[in-house]
């Protein structure tokens, strides 16, 4: 009797060993048990079309003409979930673009804002006389541009808060390394901007975009800085490194970072800004995975914005020569300091940004192809391309 019971128990254990649960076996680097549990429960929730989940018996095979018996594959389940997530992403980004176009129309109709391209914008140069009401309207639209997509994405996907906004305690070393990486990224991006500006100036081409307001009215400047540098920055990270990056992690971290970078870059709708946005998204995305916390992304974004604000103030109140000196001095100092600190981190072996992907049945390249073939993503890409082209202006 005892031997019979022992045999039954072993058989039961071996049955479990043959069961492959894709969602349960997925692991997410640098995340705690609460994150894993919440993600698993969301992925396997009944009726959740956005969660990639599949359970199969590894002993079962299917017969395919010309191929013989092959293992059961979760590829179709992954493809179906990916298409649903891509559709949600495309609709969210289209909504963001519509809010941006509505803002442009309101500024053009009610505030006679400058327009040489598709987008109307306030005149942003040298202590401009901009009304408080126009600034408030602009700030409200900029907040809505992120807030509405965040609410819509979260409402439709029903992704848990623990997954969408991971909040592990962050080591001070991680934040320090991240800030220095961001400084290096800022130097690279701004240097590239100068080269691109010089190149486009030769062919008398410029791009329309809205920047920080430095005006004669302190209230206008303060409101604009608070909105652009803090509120929109935080909400942007919640959307791109929170909801989007975390949702797509079920298909692999490399793919999730690629999607986050693509969405961040194209959301600018500006050819001159897409490269900067993609580079910053890559660095911040890697540090978000490295630390396991969305707080890291927010801190790094706010750090970059603080430096950009300081440079904008210098540009507004210093002469051209003085500002050029300050900019070069900052670039040189930031580059030298960052190189010294980051070299120490690398030598200590701490700077390891290898991405531990979940093993999925579809390659990253094919997943990108499925993403781009989504109708919603395709429509969004077409709209972004048209917007980017129409935002080109020719200098007389």
- Taking only the tens place, the pLDDT of each residue in 358-374 is 768 898 889 999 999 99
For position 70, what pLDDT does the model report? 41
Q: Is the pLDDT of residue 393 over 70?
A: yes
Q: Dihedral of CA 159/87/229/336: which sign?
A: positive
Structure-block tokens of residue 363: 């390659």
- CA–CA separation, 9 vs 184, rounded Å? 59
> What is the rounded average pLDDT for all residues in the chain?
82
Could you tell me the pLDDT band of residue 135, with boundaries at 50, 70 and 90? confident
DSSP codes joined into one string, 76-114: HHHHHHHHHHHHHHHHHHHHHHHHHHHHHHHHHHHS--B
Q: Of all residues in the chain, what percent carry a pLDDT higher than 70?
A: 81
**pTM for the model:** 0.87
For 259-301, what is each residue's pLDDT tens digit? 999 999 999 988 888 888 999 999 999 999 989 999 999 999 9
**Are the CB atoms for 72 and 64 separated by under 8 Å?**
no
> Positive or negative, the Cα torsion across 330, 333, 334, 336?
positive
Q: Please indicate whether residue 107 or residue 243 has the higher confidence score (pLDDT).
A: 243
Per-residue pLDDT tens for 62-75? 444 444 444 456 88
Confidence class for position 15, pLDDT limits 50, 70, 90? low
**In the chain, alpha helices (H):** 2-18, 22-25, 33-43, 75-110, 132-157, 161-164, 172-202, 218-225, 232-237, 245-247, 253-266, 271-291, 294-317, 320-347, 364-372, 375-390
Residues 249 and 288 sit within 8 Å (Cβ to Cβ):
no
Q: How many CA atoms lie within 13 A of 336 on its CB side?
A: 6
Lowest mean pLDDT among 25-29, 55-59, 124-128, 336-340: 124-128
Residue predicted with more confidence, 244 or 54: 244
- Sorting pLDDT into bands at 50, 70 and 90, what band is 308? confident
Which tokens go with 308?
């950009």
């Amino acid at each position: 009797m005892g031997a019979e019971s022992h045999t039954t128990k072993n058989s039961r254990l071996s049955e479990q060993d043959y069961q492959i649960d894709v969602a349960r076996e997925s692991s997410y680097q640098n995340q705690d048990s609460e994150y894993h549990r919440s993600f698993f429960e969301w992925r396997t929730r009944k009726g959740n079309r956005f969660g990639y989940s599949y359970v199969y018996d590894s002993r079962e095979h299917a017969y395919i003409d010309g191929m013989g018996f092959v293992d059961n594959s979760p590829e179709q389940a992954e493809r179906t979930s990916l298409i649903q997530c891509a559709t949600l992403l495309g609709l969210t980004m289209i909504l963001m673009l519509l809010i941006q176009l509505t803002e442009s129309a309101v500024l053009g109709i009610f505030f006679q804002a400058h327009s040489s391209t598709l987008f109307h914008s306030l005149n942003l140069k040298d202590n401009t006389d901009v009304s408080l009401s126009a600034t408030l309207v602009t700030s409200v639209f900029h907040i809505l541009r992120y807030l509405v997509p965040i609410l819509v994405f979260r409402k439709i996907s029903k992704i848990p808060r623990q997954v969408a906004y991971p909040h592990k305690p962050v080591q001070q070393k991680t934040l320090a390394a991240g800030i220095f990486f961001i400084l290096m990224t800022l130097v690279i991006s701004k240097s590239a901007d100068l080269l691109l500006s010089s190149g486009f100036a030769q062919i008398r081409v410029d791009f329309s975009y809205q920047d920080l307001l430095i005006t004669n009215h302190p209230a206008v400047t303060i409101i604009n800085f608070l909105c652009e540098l803090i509120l929109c920055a935080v909400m942007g990270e919640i959307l791109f490194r929170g909801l989007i990056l975390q949702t797509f992690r079920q298909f692999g971290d490399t793919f999730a970072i690629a999607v986050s970078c693509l969405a961040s870059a194209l959301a600018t709708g500006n050819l001159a800004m897409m490269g900067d946005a993609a580079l910053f998204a890559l660095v911040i995305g890697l540090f978000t995975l490295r630390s396991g916390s969305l707080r890291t992304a927010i801190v790094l974004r706010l750090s970059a914005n603080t430096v950009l604000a300081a440079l904008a103030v210098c540009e507004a109140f210093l002469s051209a020569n003085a500002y050029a000196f300050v900019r070069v001095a900052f670039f040189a100092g930031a580059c030298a300091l960052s190189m010294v600190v980051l070299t120490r981190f690398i030598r200590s072996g701490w700077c390891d940004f290898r991405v531990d992907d979940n093993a999925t049945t579809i390659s990253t390249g094919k997943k990108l192809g499925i993403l781009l073939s989504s109708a919603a993503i395709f429509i969004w890409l077409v709209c972004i391309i048209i917007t980017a082209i129409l935002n080109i202006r020719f200098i007389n």
